[in-house]
Structure 1
Amino acid sequence: MEVVLEPVISELVKGLFKILGSNEVRDFAQQLVGGVDSKLKELKDKLTHIGNLLRNAQDKQLSDESVKNWLDNLQQWAYDAEDLLDEFAYEALRNKLKAQHQASSSKGFSCLPACLPSPLFAVQMGCKIKEINSRLDKLRQQRSAEREDQERSGLPPTNVAAPPKPEETSSVRPEQKVYGRNEDEAELLKMVKSGANFQVIAVVGMGGIGKTTIAREVYNHKELEDIKFDKKAWVCVSTNFKVEEISKELLEQFSKEVPKNFNEIQVQLEKAVSGKKFLIVLDDIWKVEYQQWETLKSPFAAGAPGSMMIVTTRDTDVAQTIRCSHTYQLKLLSNDACKSLFQEHAFGAGAFAVPNQISDSIYKRVVERCGGLPLAAKTLGGLLRFKQSDTWENILESKIWSTSDERDHILPALKLSYHYLPSNLKRCFGYCAIFPQDYEFEEKELALLWIAEGIVQPSDKQLDEAVRKVESTIF
């Protein structure tokens, strides 16, 4: 996901203010020669002035490339400033603790010379702070000049007010009703039950259309209990089709012992399925080479008649490459199904609005914005659930709907729901972008990484809130 930069920078700026406002930093700066104290005060003043420019840029970054580039440069500056002030705060604390230790172990004033900061450190730090101030000045002047140019040109301001719910990729059936997919489910079940030999079914459709959902419904359907599959497995593939990793994940679901050698993994896979009927789902394949597919598939030829593999993909080329037995093109949801799915997520316990407060024109706009995609309906419903009904119109008219690029594979509804997260949680969520897609991590691991990066403080209530919010967003 392309992270909206302004909230991230705002949190960085808050962190800089916190360091500059600490007693240790102020006291230490006053001890240094070379005007370090005045340079830090100058930096604090400049940060105050940058706030107005940031608030103005929040809206414009969605549609103005120059603003986005300016924010990107400002973000890099903020990270450099954070590193510099962290170094300064560390030295301030170290000097304070050293003085306290010497005071407790020495008599009189014999410790004073050893407690004074190094003049070399003061000179070096003063130069660094001066350079940071100069860079911020240039960025501030650049943005001010751009705003003046826009005002002279008469361009109207953009107005976008300031949670996402990606599709879960798992064989576990969620406690939610599936709307508008009865015919799709019946057709796929028919294909699965009619297989005489090992077959591959490809479910094809654009992102957010519900491929994973329909595959999960079929995978867990009661009608398949009569078929009595001996082995069942579900693997999310995503952007990287790595034969060894996929084979290993499949074997882990069939056997307790998994060898490290790839050839041995395939041998054990073949033994595990030999003479047995199996159902395997390979979810969300983005790209695959023919030879890769043949290598992955080879152990499963030993399975019993009626064995089945279901593949979900956005790309019809994938279905052609794997030479599947059946290709099922998943269609968009009907308007009625889309509306029903939206209502399930927008109303109910804890919701700020009730159905009879929403006009038909608003429902019509909701259906248009969802575009027949269940993921969009769920996400938009989850977002509006916690908004007063009189604000729905503004959200549905947000410029985000018209600034999305289909090539980035991100639904406007997902961008919008991210945009409405509180700024502190945006930075937590944005940090998750460093992980590869479908990376699995423990909540505690992620929380510790946030702490290590200084995004949250270990004693801050924000930590628990952030973990819950990002968990609900990602999963």
Structure 2
Amino acid sequence: GGVGKTTLVQEVFSDNRSKVFDLRIWVYVSEKFDLLKTGKIILSAINRSMGSGTSEKYGPPQNGDLHTIIEQLEHMLPTKRYLIVLDDIWEEGIHNLENLKCMLQHGQKGSKVIITTRMDRIVEKLDCGVLANQGIIRPVHKSDWIELKKLSNEDCWNVMRQAFRRDADLSGVEEIGREIAKKCVGLPSP
């Protein structure tokens, strides 16, 4: 962790160009992937965006099992073009990932799901399929992945130097700065 995956996706999520989506939902997942909780967060966001009548029609998202949540999403997502970010997925349990695909397959054409993860295997398992609305989940090819890597010590130092004016004399701090850059081990955040 700490390479900047979440920061990069936050920039995409908050960019004005992402406002073309009817729904923009951010779900922080973390180590324990609770699919039911994820579904409830998504339903709550949809309810907020559609107004108060929605929760009466479909029932509050706090109630229900996974099947009920998936059923509610099946009725609500086809009316929306969405961008959903699932941040920091660790768990690669195939059952959870299959249910996740099932849960999010009903959006309008152009809907997107962005996943941040430390594990390549998770992305590989979410590769392709057919959507309920006759669309196709486009295969995620390795070439589509954005893999963030650690910076070299020299690149870390160059980033740190940008905190100073261009004409600043760094001779007194360069040695210390390079040591700090080395201790960062290529990660922009501690």
Give the TM-score taking structure 2 as reference length: 0.74
Gaps of 5+ in 1: 1-206, 345-353, 377-475
Question: Which residue is equivalent to 1:327?
Answer: 145
Larger C-alpha radius of gyration, 1 or 2? 1
Maintained 8 Å contact 1:255/1:272 = no
Deviation track 1:298-339 (CA, whole Å, cap 9, x = no partner) reads: 132221111111111111111112226232211224335531
Change (3 A) 1:219 1:337: farther
Maintained 8 Å contact 2:30/2:89 = yes
Displacement after TM superposition at 1:277 (Å): 1.1
Question: Which residue is equivalent to 1:209?
Answer: 3
SS of equivalent residue, structure 2 residue 105: helix
Question: Which residue is equivalent to 1:244?
Answer: 36
Change (3 A) 1:355 1:304: farther
SS of equivalent residue, structure 1 residue 329: coil
Maintained 8 Å contact 1:231/1:273 = no
Deviation track 1:96-151 (CA, whole Å, cap 9, x = no partner) reads: xxxxxxxxxxxxxxxxxxxxxxxxxxxxxxxxxxxxxxxxxxxxxxxxxxxxxxxx
Question: Which residue is equivalent to 1:301?
Answer: 105
Query: C-alpha distance in 1, partners of 2:169/2:111?
Result: 46
Deviation track 1:3-28 (CA, whole Å, cap 9, x = no partner) reads: xxxxxxxxxxxxxxxxxxxxxxxxxx
Question: Which residue is equivalent to 1:292?
Answer: 96
Maintained 8 Å contact 1:338/1:370 = no
Question: Which residue is equivalent to 1:315?
Answer: 119
Structure having greater relative contact order (Cα 8 Å, sep ≥ 6): 2
SS of equivalent residue, structure 1 residue 283: strand
Query: C-alpha distance in 1, partners of 2:169/2:31?
Result: 40
Displacement after TM superposition at 1:297 (Å): 2.1
Question: Which residue is equivalent to 2:180?
Answer: 366
Query: C-alpha distance in 1, partners of 2:110/2:85?
Result: 15
Query: C-alpha distance in 2, partners of 1:297/1:266?
Result: 10
Maintained 8 Å contact 2:73/2:106 = no
SS of equivalent residue, structure 2 residue 92: coil
Query: C-alpha distance in 2, partners of 1:224/1:292?
Result: 27
Change (3 A) 1:304 1:337: farther
Counterparts of 1:114-153 in structure 2 under 5 Å?
none
Displacement after TM superposition at 1:357 (Å): 8.3
Tell me which amino acid in the other structure corresponds to 1:261. G
Query: C-alpha distance in 2, partners of 1:304/1:320?
Result: 24
SS of equivalent residue, structure 1 residue 293: helix
Number of residue pairs matched? 158
Displacement after TM superposition at 1:217 (Å): 0.4
Query: C-alpha distance in 2, partners of 1:235/1:241?
Result: 11
Change (3 A) 1:299 1:339: same
Q: Do residues 261 (structure 1) and 55 (structure 2) align?
A: no
Tell me which amino acid in the other structure corresponds to 1:329. E
Maintained 8 Å contact 1:276/1:303 = yes
Deviation track 1:223-252 (CA, whole Å, cap 9, x = no partner) reads: 333xx1011100111011121111111111
Counterparts of 1:98-117 in structure 2 under 5 Å?
none
Question: Which residue is equivalent to 2:130?
Answer: none
Query: C-alpha distance in 1, partners of 2:31/2:158?
Result: 30
The structure richer in strand per residue is 2
Query: C-alpha distance in 1, partners of 2:105/2:174?
Result: 54
SS of equivalent residue, structure 1 residue 280: strand
Displacement after TM superposition at 1:340 (Å): 4.8
Change (3 A) 1:365 1:336: closer
SS of equivalent residue, structure 2 residue 87: strand
% same residue: 31
Maintained 8 Å contact 2:30/2:88 = yes
Q: CA RMSD in A?
A: 2.4
Tell me which amino acid in the other structure corresponds to 2:186. G
Counterparts of 1:40-439 in structure 2 under 5 Å?
207-225=1-19, 228-256=20-48, 257=55, 258-259=60-61, 260-262=63-65, 263-323=67-127, 325=140, 326-333=144-151, 334-336=155-157, 338-340=159-161, 343=163, 358-376=172-190
Displacement after TM superposition at 1:367 (Å): 1.3
Tell me which amino acid in the other structure corresponds to 1:235. V
Change (3 A) 1:308 1:359: same
Give the TM-score taking structure 1 as reference length: 0.31
Query: C-alpha distance in 1, partners of 2:102/2:72?
Result: 12
Tell me which amino acid in the other structure corresponds to 1:306. G
Larger deviation, residues 246-255 vs 266-275: 266-275
Maintained 8 Å contact 1:289/1:321 = no
